[in-house]
Amino acid sequence: MKNPKEKKSEAIIAYESYTARVGKETIPCYTPSIGKEELALVTDVIERNWLSENKYTREFESKLAEICERKYAVCFGNATAALISGMKGLGLKTGDEIIVPSLSHSADPNSISATGATPVFADVDEETLCLSVKTIEVVRTARTKAILYVCAYGNTGALDTITRYAKKHKLFLINDSAPALFGTYKGKPIPSYGDFSVLSFFADKTITTGEGGMLLSDNTKLVSEANIYKHDGRRERGVDTIERRGYNFRITELQSAVGVAQLKKADYFVKRKKEILGIYRKKLSGVSGVRVFAFNSLADAVPHRAILFVPNAKKLIRHLETCGIGARTLFMPMHSQPAYGEKGHFPITEKLFKTGVCLPSAPNLKQEEIEYVCSEITNYYQTR
């Protein structure tokens, strides 16, 4: 038995500090909406006594392929695993350079690094928070093999122009649409762009499976390769031949059952996220010095987060924390992270990080909670 006096591991200490901090939030930055519909399908999985990928996983995939207008959709344990498998499936490897925004989730440069390729950071466009041809051109070299485009916070820039640009320069276009499910750009689903795209179903995404991801593509060979990397280097469970040095990147059937149940409520989630952004815009429009981020008008994006630009993001976040409100900065620029620490200067990325605040955006937020967040922000700037 464990000696209670035994020292806690660093991981446990970090976990306890994180949960204690977010546990104090009476209005969290995000909470998933799950309930009896998910419970019913999870119960069904348990009663069937088959916990690894099975019929709910196939159903989840086929529904997502249809929604995203893709030939294929393949479930993964998370979006990072889908990115690694997709990039390996395209043959990207050591010596290749892949352009990625510094304003991204660590999953982006990390997954590039996992293939052996080199992440080359680029700045983003201030209006969209995403890469543009202009910011890509600054860092493209003869070794560039792919662009890892990131649909930051569910938004997108000119995906059609970027697609043409990638074709012209014979570059693969990888579309990290992790938070962009149900969004469209010029009438087409955002995840339908790119040689392949990925989705995340982490707990803060529009639909969640707790952890989970999906790779979407129209390319039969790429999907077949990515599947091999996902299944430990073999074509499926139960096959003995190991064709590649792969991984176990599978989702569980319990998670897929949650995903299928979540899909039935997706219209409501999307509607609420748009409504919540609209309320923030209305209530905060008169506050001097702050601006609610406007998603691309050429896209019908689903706001992953309501984002507010303010003079000093960290100061506002600290104030909101004292009011029990969970708010976050935008992604901490990857070029300045210890794992990547590079000399580059990315002025727009740095400015966005210093000024961007993600406000509570869960579909289950109550009107009075949103009003409370807005009144705290208004008071904060009016008394300064």
Q: Pick the piece of the chain touching ligand PLP (CB under 6 A) from 86-94, 118-126, 174-182, 268-276.
A: 174-182
Q: Which of residues 94-113 bind ligand PLP (CB under 6 A)?
A: 105, 107-108
Q: Binding ligand PLP by CB under 6 A: which of 78, 128, 135, 156?
A: 78
- The reply to whether 303 sits near ligand PLP by the rule CB under 6 A is no
CA distance 308 to 330: 10
The residue (of 330 and 374) whose beta carbon lies closer to ligand PLP is 330
Whether the Cβ atoms of residue 145 and residue 121 lie closer than 8 Å to each other: no
- The reply to whether 249 sits near ligand PLP by the rule CB under 6 A is no
Q: At what angle do helices 107-114 and 79-89 cross, to 10 degrees?
A: 40
The residue (of 78 and 184) whose beta carbon lies closer to ligand PLP is 78
Q: Binding ligand PLP by CB under 6 A: which of 27, 53, 75, 80?
A: 80
Burial class of residue 331 in the structure, from the number of CB atoms within 10 Å of its CB (0-12 exposed, 13-18 middle, 19+ buried):
buried
Q: Pick the piece of the chain touching ligand PLP (CB under 6 A) from 24-32, 59-67, 171-179, 376-384.
A: 171-179
Distances (CA, A) of 185 to 120, 128, 156, 192: 26, 13, 8, 9
Whether the Cβ atoms of residue 368 and residue 381 lie closer than 8 Å to each other: no
The residue (of 269 and 374) whose beta carbon lies closer to ligand PLP is 269
Reading phi first (left if > 0) and then psi (alpha if -120 to 50, else beta), residue 61 is in alpha
Tell me phi and psi for residue 148, to 5 degrees: -100, 100
Shortest reach from residue 233's CB to ligand PLP, in Å: 21
- The reply to whether 32 sits near ligand PLP by the rule CB under 6 A is no
The residue (of 30 and 165) whose beta carbon lies closer to ligand PLP is 30
Tokens 């010596």 label which residue? 95
CA distance 89 to 18: 36
The residue (of 103 and 377) whose beta carbon lies closer to ligand PLP is 103
- The reply to whether 213 sits near ligand PLP by the rule CB under 6 A is yes
- The reply to whether 73 sits near ligand PLP by the rule CB under 6 A is no
Task: Give the tokens for residue 112.
Answer: 């590039």
Q: Binding ligand PLP by CB under 6 A: which of 128, 200, 252, 355?
A: 200
Q: How many residues bind ligand PLP (CB under 6 A)?
A: 13
Shortest reach from residue 371's CB to ligand PLP, in Å: 27
Q: In sequence order, what are the residues at sequence separation of 6 or more whose Cβ sits closer than 8 angstroms to the Cβ of residue 4? A: none
- The reply to whether 202 sits near ligand PLP by the rule CB under 6 A is yes
Q: Pick the piece of the chain touching ligand PLP (CB under 6 A) from 36-44, 75-83, 223-231, 292-300.
A: 75-83
- The reply to whether 150 sits near ligand PLP by the rule CB under 6 A is yes
The residue (of 175 and 355) whose beta carbon lies closer to ligand PLP is 175
Positive or negative, the CA dihedral 250, 254, 255, 261 is: positive
The residue (of 82 and 284) whose beta carbon lies closer to ligand PLP is 82
Distances (CA, A) of 258 to 33, 57, 210: 11, 10, 9
Tokens 């984002």 label which residue? 307
Give contact residues for ligand PLP (rule: CB under 6 A).
78-80, 105, 107-108, 150, 176, 178-179, 200, 202, 213
